[in-house]
Structure 1
Amino acid sequence: MNILLWHVHGSWTTAFVQGPHLYLVPVTPDRGPDGLGRARTFSWPDSVREVTPDQLRDAPVDLVVLQRPHEAELAERWLGGRRPGRDVPAVYLEHNAPDGDVPGTRHPCADRSDLTLVHVTHFNRLFWDSGSTRTRVIEHGIVDPGHQYTGRIPRAAVVVNEPVRRGRHTGTDLLPALSEAVPLDVFGMRTEGLAGHLGLPADRCRGADLPQRRLHPAMAERRLYLHPVRWTSLGLSLLEAMHLGLPVVALATTEVVEAVPPGTGVLSTRPEVLAEAARRYLHEPEAAAADGARGRQAAVERYGLKRFLADWERLITEVRS
């Protein structure tokens, strides 16, 4: 089966393309947002093939996975007039929690009868207003990086992209107080200079933009994983941290309360409770390792790749029937 999808979310796509199909990923000369082509920092199988818009015009396509509102028009144009949902089976994959007038935010695909809207968390489906559109939830799947945890570095790993720009959404404003409890290593995109922006000593909050191949080993060396995010979809970095074996200290918001079961970390809406939990893990490495091991087991069971791919196979069969 030939599945057309754009390279939008590298981590999610890395799991999706482990399936048994041929995955057609558009590429343009500038490799811009609508034509990134194959990932350069993630490991994708040979079944992921770059295709130009001209090549797509006559390409056999069995399913279109839309991920952004403008992709429906783009797909119809590049597929030579074949419209997703009418001429080619289609699903719309929504990666994000709603924004704006929550919980009244209308989804761009609301009241559509020609496609299925797929959410990555039950929280997201609950909060988006999808009208009469058929919806499904397929929870994340993770390519298991293995139990790499050592916790030898007494600092907390935080993974967030663009923490300065995203501000309160990602809990960036909470980092100064939390850094008093545990020194922070913030990984992600555009994290350099974060300490200066927050007015923190460099040793209390270090930013590092690491390539993907170095991120997991670096996370696994830290004593705990800190997730101060207020409002976003369930971060794949949190699930990856659990797979690695890190104990989790996180705000009890959005889908996190479902993903992190008791005995694998500490969840709270009170930052002072998170700070105390971080201090405990900092000074009790054996407790940190034990909670992290339980967290890994829970994450592998719920967010394993086999379950994820099986869920998608069932939906693909349903959509194409």
Structure 2
Amino acid sequence: MRILIWHVHGSWTTAFVQGPHTYLLPVTPDRGPDGLGRARTWDWPQNVTEVPHDRLRESDIDLVVLQRPHEIELAHRWTGRRPGLDVPALYVEHNSPDGSPTHTRHPLADRDDVPIVHVTHFNRLMWDNGRAPTAVVEHGIIDPGPLWTGERERAAVVVNEPVRRGRTTGTDLLPLLAKAAPLDVFGMRTEQLAAHLGMSEQECRARDLPQGELHPQMARCRVYVHPVRWTSLGLSLLEAMFLGMPVVALDTTEVREAVPPGAGVVSNRLDALTDAVRAFLTDREHAAAVGRAAREAALARYGLPRFLDDWEHLLKEVR
């Protein structure tokens, strides 16, 4: 099967392209958002092929995987084929609704020819999907291995653009959490975070690391903290569990489904969250035991074989 897909979400796409198909990625001369081509910081297999956007009309395409609303028009313009009409198509919805969770209508809600594939059951519930067919394929993670050492008495946090996204990602909670453990914050555009929050570099050390360095650096921290209020289920939370890290997270969106009892502490009580961070910081053996349980839970539910198998079943239905 030859699948046209845009490089939008690097971590998710890295898992998706591990399947048995040929994946066609548009590339533009400037390698902008609509033509990134192959990943530069992830290791992708050889069946991921870059196709210049102006050569897509000549390409055999069996399926289009859409991830952003404007890709519907873009696919038509670049390939000459209308997704859902001239060529089978799916729309992967990575996010929870950005507006009201009870009144946000999905961009494809008025179509019944392009199924919407949500990455969590919570997202499918919260979006108004209208008459569009829906499915859920939960995340799959390429196992980085049990890298946790917990040698640093610090808490790891992963968030992209924490200053801009603010309360959405729980940036305002970081000063409180830092009273329980100094923070290592990883992610894109984190440089001004400590100054923005009025924190010292010791309290909040922010770094934007290459993908290959991220997991080993996270795993040196004693505990992973997930302060996110409202996004889809963060892949960084699942990756921390795969690393064997104990996790402390807000009880929002799909988190409680991902972190079963014994694999971490999930709560909306701020005192419970800070107490849990302190407990993991002071008791390394307890942190190690909970981290092992977190890894076992993540492997069972979010392993790559299950993810690829679910996608294969779905693709057979769409062909």
Q: TM-score, normalised by structure 2?
A: 0.99
Q: 1:275-297: CA deviations, max 9, x gaps?
A: 01000000000000100000100
Aligned residue for 1:5?
Answer: 5
The CA distance in 2 between the partners of 1:60 and 1:186, in whole Å, is 44
1:124: which partner in 2?
Answer: 123
Number of residue equivalences: 319
- What SS class does the counterpart of residue 181 from structure 1 fall into? coil
1:160 aligns with 2:159: yes
| Matches of 1:194 and 1:112, distance apart in 2 | 42
Give the C-alpha shift of residue 111 in structure 1. Answer: 2.6
Partner of 1:201: 200
1:65-100, Cα deviation, whole Å (9 max, x unpaired):
000000011001111x21110111100000000011
- The DSSP-based 3-state class of the residue aligned with 1:11 is helix
SS in 2 for 1:192: coil
> What do residues 198-257 of structure 1 show as CA deviations (whole Å, max 9, x unaligned)?
001110100000000000000111000000000000000000000000000000000001
Give the aligned partner of residue 77 of structure 1: 77
Name the structure 2 match of 1:115: 114
Work out the CA distance in 2 between the residues paired with 1:309 and 1:205: 38
Q: Does 1:296 align with 2:282?
A: no
Query: Which amino acid is 1:33 matched to?
Result: P
- Helix, strand or coil at the partner of 1:26: strand
Q: Deviations over 1:153-204 (max 9, x none)?
A: 1100000000000000000000001101110000000111211110011101
Distance in structure 2 (CA, Å) of the matches to 1:280 and 1:253? 22
Q: How do 1:229-244 residues align onto structure 2 when only pairs under 5 Å count?
A: 229-244=228-243
SS at match of 2:38: coil
Partners of 2:215 and 2:274 in 1: how far apart?
24
CA distance in 1 between counterparts of 2:271 and 2:43 reads 39
Are 2:252 and 1:247 equivalent residues in the alignment? Answer: no
- Within 5 Å, which residues of 2 pair with 1:303-314? 303-314=302-313
Aligned-pair Cα RMSD in Å: 0.6
Distance in 2 separating the partners of 1:99 and 1:53: 30
By how many angstroms is 1:270 displaced?
Answer: 1.3
Shift of 1:101: 2.3
Aligned to 1:26: 26
Q: Give the Cα–Cα distance (whole angstroms) in 2 for the partners of residues 271 and 231 of structure 1.
A: 16
Residue by residue, what CA displacement relative to the aligned partner does 1:265-320 show, whole Å, maximum 9, x if unpaired?
10111122100100000000000010000010000010000000000000000011
Matched, 1:269 2:246: no
- State how far apart, in whole Å, the 1-side matches of 2:249 and 2:54 are: 46
* AA at the equivalent of 2:233: L
AA in 2 matched with 1:82: R
Separation in structure 2 between the aligned mates of residue 199 and residue 144 of structure 1, nearest angstrom: 36
2:48 counterpart letter in structure 1: V
What is the percent sequence identity of the aligned residues?
69
5 Å-filtered alignment, 1:162-201, equals 162-201=161-200
Letter in 2 for 1:28: T
3-state SS of paired residue (1:87): coil
Q: Distance in 2 between matches of 1:190 and 1:308?
A: 30
Residue type matched to 1:269 in 2?
A: N
Give the match for residue 104 of structure 1. Answer: 103
Query: What residue is the counterpart of 1:49 in the other structure?
Result: 49
In structure 1, the residue matched to 2:147 is 148
In structure 2, how many angstroms separate the alpha carbons of the residues matched to 1:268 and 1:222?
21
For structure 2, the 5+ residue unaligned runs are none
Cα distance in 2, alignment partners of residues 101 and 246 from structure 1: 33
SS in 1 for 2:179: helix
C-alpha distance in structure 1 between counterparts of 2:102 and 2:238, whole Å: 25
